[in-house]
Structure 1
């Protein structure tokens, strides 16, 4: 396998802190590599040095000649005043990209049509701008894609689409992500950035957990807390879904011996019984409720009861009303009709996506102790300092003034203060934002043994499957739908809902979508046939270009291939003209 990029003894520091210390590694053709590590540990720095955005302080970075690379980091700026210019600048006319099935899939899969291709980029949110940057990177013919947290701002369905898209391409990938389902599904290798080094592991998230725990065991690591947490995570992985690891059998047997005495992540029956004693029969209920967002009905005369000990994951596409429903449960919204009922013993903790006003004059630990000095979470009793450390604030960081914290740290502090108040009902809106994988494991460890009622909105499929016993969905039909099959059932239902009716081909291009229903039915078969023909011609054109490059020293073969290429291009132009005529007639 040819390496596309090599790092040789590369070091990089900011101030006196070395983030990379004599790191040597390479990215091979077609490799898909996940990068993990603590926040601030050097993951983004590694990506920027790897891709040439930042130079190393020492060492050497080499790349093959003509490397086609696209990079989307958290600092990537959009190039273009409209969505079309920013994402599709390589295409002169609409039919050029609409005729390419791969590009159409990217535009639709990342929701650019919903944003409006002619919309100004100046008025878009940070999440929308990241989706456009991702689309602009993926539409090209590439050897390597470098992505920093691409699953942020994508819902569960969007994360699934991105995973499927990357798996279908032969392009090499280096990706920083905290989404463990994505890591397990997409990546064949994992790099852990820790202490200035990059530890390399075969496989995705599950294999990384196994490998890291095994290294800790063989080295008799002194990091007892981290090792114990890894053992509990292994127990979850081993008892969960099949095929989470690709390790040989002897490695699995070693892991099974390691976790033989580890109890299950949680005893749901015991926790539910304890919750009933704390909460009684009534927790949160909505009766015959209608809830609106503008003119749209999110709920239409819905009755829903959240009982003691319920652990519910709430899913739906972005904009389906998940956050609004949480606010209704929290009593921050009122239904248009019906009523909300709250049990007398409920102590509610609500983590919103907005940052609350925090006491800026205090230091971090003081802001936590301002709520309580100690907390009992299930069977664990923790001091304010211990809970802060579990949620990603090491002892040295706990004396930082609150006003000096980053947005992500403020959100973690908000969650810490909520847990310190010992609520018995938790409403969590995207709790995994701004958490690295180690902190996610700590949070899941806390929630595993938390004896209360919980409703979680999260695009992190792994967390939802880990800490929730039930999944419900908002499909836009005014109801709350229970999904016995969990997130996989949700994705299947969404896929079926978006599929065209039998015998009909749904028009895929924007121009045809503007036509009336009658015109669409009349034109859809012709358009679908022409699009399939364009896909075939595009594939043939690509192969001919590759053959021309390979025959550079054979003049007779070059003449033959060039003649064939001219014929293909002429046919392609003819098909594109027919496609345009039909699509314009259907407007």
Structure 2
């Protein structure tokens, strides 16, 4: 397939620091590329160079003629005095034109644009709502390439899943910077890691990238031991986690199992619960017969909820359902309309809100952390202030940066470090993944794995919720806090059923027609499954033959190149056939 954009030996620096150094890569038709790397490492710069927003200092960027491209950055700019309709549907002269297009209707509904009101002035909307409008405006067009910078910020769990499904259904090429690992794994077929001015390329999404990075660290003697251990632990979690994350592996299962053979479970829940009870006693946080509102909107209606020692709870709900309001009530920062909040006598509570707290700007990073305490014990781990700051993304040199010079993401990490230095035994975290890169997220999750306290997390990052929480509760708009034994998947099923019920009954289909249709689909799926299995057998046999040929021609460089090329082609086709086999087999479940 032809490349849409090519970068040839591109360099880009800000000040004396090179963010891109002789980078050469290309984006082909249909590519779905996830871009990862440390905050400040050059991800956004790479996107801006690709999109033509910024010119490279050296090298060349070439694009195919008449390339149809949409770019959504973190800097949302909407025309002054415009309405939602102007921003999203300006290409349509009449209402019926866009309303007749199922794809456009899906975008407008899926991103909650209709709920904002098409005639609402954009000037009155929040930053998150303006980001959704910019995203919708980009998606409604007929495009060859979509470039997105952190598109899942300001989307709830349901919105993130809708966006993933929408992008998968389109043939449009995609380049996306995101720290949402579930989104990366679900949507992306390739991963670019931006680090030290270079761009390393990997096949597959987040799980494949973690494996490849861990495997590279294992094979390269110079790899840092700390990063290797983190990647190995993360891989262990991936291997043991939800089925959906490991249903389409592109890496060798045997190698993965060998790599994680000696990695312990992410946490010993029984041990942590015992420790938490010793620290917290029987009573932690309780809401009794509480009625609560978020403005004029009811959140809880005569609801009783008890949070015990060692509970690790993920709280989910659509944007505006009252999650932040409930967290503020749990933190004691607001009062219920009716009922009461009970807090245990031994509770030491810490609340990470979405708002950045006032930080001591006259201090340096390390001084700001040491202002709370010089050392901290998190579970079995004892760390100095400097060690904790380093784990949250402040290397030794950066720890002497004045607080006033920090970026928004760095201030968020400093806020989290100061909060943990207080050694709380109850943590309330409101969207803790905002502005954190993947490496820092791994460090945070590693600490929370062994943290022996009570935890309540509000997050649109379903990977984080599944990783650190043992139970999921939802605000479903019925005035209650509902336990969801099936986790986020159950929450999404309930939301889908609720939306379908509100839309009314589907057109009636006779029993005979339904049975005939179902039987025909089943026969077609069985036939396709049989064909794919035969092709897989052929590819496995050819792969084995090629390995034998490689051994026989070990001293013939030209033949080795030819055989390696064929082997790569066979493996690529095998991956595609395996993926198709998995999709087809799911239809028969």
- Same fold judged by TM-score > 0.5? yes
In the alignment, the residues of structure 2 paired with residue 433 and residue 295 of structure 1 have an alpha-carbon distance, to the nearest angstrom, of: 27
The residue matched to 1:313 in structure 2 has which SS? strand
The residue that corresponds to 1:349 in the other structure is: 350
Pairing 1:25–2:25 present: yes
- Deviation string, structure 1 residues 196-224 (Cα, Å, up to 9, x no partner): 11000000000000000111111113411
Following superposition, the deviation at residue 413 of structure 1 comes to: 1.0
The answer on whether the counterparts of 2:11 and 2:19 sit within 8 Å (CA) in structure 1 is yes
After TM superposition, give the deviation of residue 501 of structure 1 in Å. 6.3
- Residues of 2 paired with 1:39 and 1:153: CA distance? 19
* Per-residue CA distance 1:297-344 (angstroms, 9 max, x = gap): 211111100000000000000110001111111111111111111101
Q: Distance in 2 between matches of 1:404 and 1:502?
A: 51
Deviations 1:475-525 (A, max 9, x none): 11100000000000000000000014697469xxxxxxxxxxxxxxxxxxx
In structure 2, what is the equivalent of residue 139 of structure 1? 140
* CA RMSD in angstroms, aligned pairs only: 1.4
* Secondary structure class of the residue paired with 2:5: strand
Counterpart residue number, 2:453: 452
Decide which moves more: 238-247 or 95-104: 238-247
Shift of 1:169: 0.5
CA displacement at 1:94 relative to structure 2: 1.3
Counterparts of 1:21-420 in structure 2, within 5 Å, are 21-79=21-79, 81-242=82-243, 244-245=245-246, 246-247=248-249, 251-420=252-421
Partners in 1 of 2:14 and 2:338 — Cα distance?
A: 57
Q: After superposition, where does 1:401-440 map in structure 2 within 5 Å?
A: 401-440=402-441
Q: Which runs of 5+ in 2 are unaligned?
A: 508-589
- Three-state SS of the structure 2 residue aligned to 1:299 is strand
Distance, in Å, in 1 between the alignment partners of 2:145 and 2:115 is 28
* Residue pair 2:5, 2:50 contacting (<8 A) in 1 also: yes
Where 1:499 maps in the other structure, the secondary structure is helix
Q: Which residue of 2 aligns with 1:9?
A: 9
TM-score (norm 1): 0.84
- Structure 1 residue 79, shift from structure 2 partner: 3.5
In 1, Cα distance between the equivalents of 2:189 and 2:428? 35
Provide the C-alpha distance between the structure 2 equivalents of 1:21 and 1:65, rounded to a whole number of angstroms: 26
Alpha-carbon distance in structure 2 between the residues aligned to 1:380 and 1:92: 63
The answer to whether the 8 A contact 2:181-2:206 is kept is yes
Contact 2:208–2:250 at 8 Å: present in 1 too?
Answer: no
What per-residue deviation string (whole Å, max 9, x for no partner) do you get for residues 354-409 of structure 1?
11122122111111001000000011111101111111111111111112222222
Classify the secondary structure of the residue corresponding to 2:368: helix
2:293/2:299 contact within 8 Å kept: yes
Using the TM superposition, name which of 209-218 and 220-229 deviates more.
220-229
Distance 1:243 1:430, change over 3 A: closer
Instruction: Name the CA distance, whole Å, in 1 between partners of 2:39 and 2:502.
Output: 46
TM-score (normalizing by structure 2)? 0.84
> 1:48 offset after TM fit, Å?
0.8
Q: Give the whole-Å Cα distance in 2 for the aligned partners of 1:487 and 1:471.
A: 7
Change (3 A) 1:160 1:503: closer
Contact map agreement 2:283 2:308 (CA 8 A) in 1? yes
Distance 1:242 1:221 in 2: 34
- 1:100-148 deviation per Cα after TM superposition (whole angstroms, max 9, x unaligned): 1100111111111111111111121111111111011000000100000
Counterpart CA distance in 2 for 1:363 and 1:497 is: 50
Q: Distance in 1 between matches of 2:250 and 2:338?
A: 58
Residues in 1 aligned to 2:372 and 2:295: alpha-carbon distance in whole angstroms: 37
In structure 1, C-alpha distance between the alignment counterparts of 2:244 and 2:431, rounded to whole Å: 27
Could you tell me how far 1:415 is from its partner in structure 2? 0.9
Measured in 2, the distance between the counterparts of 1:503 and 1:349 equals 44
Q: Distance in 2 between matches of 1:199 and 1:235?
A: 23
Contact 2:312 2:456 in 1 (8 A): yes
